[in-house]
């Protein structure tokens, strides 16, 4: 029903893959908080004309989904390889990534620093910082 409503109106659906990093939980009190990425991939694959953003996705999950879900953008809030923007540039196109700070759950400076200290060209950083999302809005 949501896709039926949003698709003709060109509205983006944002899906939080996780709200909190489970590595922050005590091993004695672990609660499953994530939607399995396989379930998300299967669901999104039915709606190829709908635009999606996957929030709080891990780098390994981007590796699994990038070529499968061509109508999906990925936010950078939990993408944490060494030098994340360089990793994006080396493996993918910056056109499918968007900035997110995940504030107030994270300090926003960490994700701002991904942009500020990147060795990517300015136009590539700007794509992730604002251009890609502006195209959808």
User: Mean pLDDT throughout 16-45?
Assistant: 80
**With contact defined as beta carbons under 8 Å apart, do 12 and 1 qualify?**
no
CA 44/CA 32 separation, integer angstroms: 21
pTM: 0.85
Q: What is the pLDDT of residue 112?
A: 87
Given a cut of 90, whether residue 13 has pLDDT beyond it is yes
CA 77/CA 114 separation, integer angstroms: 9
> In this structure, what are the phi and psi dihedrals at residue 31, rounded to the nearest 5 degrees?
-125, 135
- What would the pLDDT profile of 50-67 be if each residue is shown by its tens digit? 999 999 999 999 998 999
First to last CA, the chain: 21
- What would the pLDDT profile of 76-126 be if each residue is shown by its tens digit? 999 988 889 999 999 999 999 999 987 877 788 888 888 888 888 899 999
CA 132/CA 108 separation, integer angstroms: 19
């Amino acid at each position: 029903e949501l896709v039926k409503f949003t698709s003709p109106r060109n509205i983006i659906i944002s899906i939080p893959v996780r709200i909190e990093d489970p590595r922050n939980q005590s091993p004695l009190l672990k609660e499953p908080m994530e939607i399995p990425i396989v379930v998300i991939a299967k669901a999104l694959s039915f709606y190829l004309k709908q635009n999606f953003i996957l929030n709080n996705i891990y780098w390994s999950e981007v590796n699994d989904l990038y070529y499968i879900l061509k109508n999906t953008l990925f936010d950078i809030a939990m993408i944490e390889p060494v030098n994340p923007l360089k990793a994006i540039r080396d493996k993918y196109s910056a056109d499918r990534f968007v900035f997110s700070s995940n504030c107030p759950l994270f300090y926003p400076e960490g994700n701002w620093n991904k942009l500020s200290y990147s060795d990517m060209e300015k136009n590539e950083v700007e794509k992730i910082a604002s251009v890609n999302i502006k195209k959808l809005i």
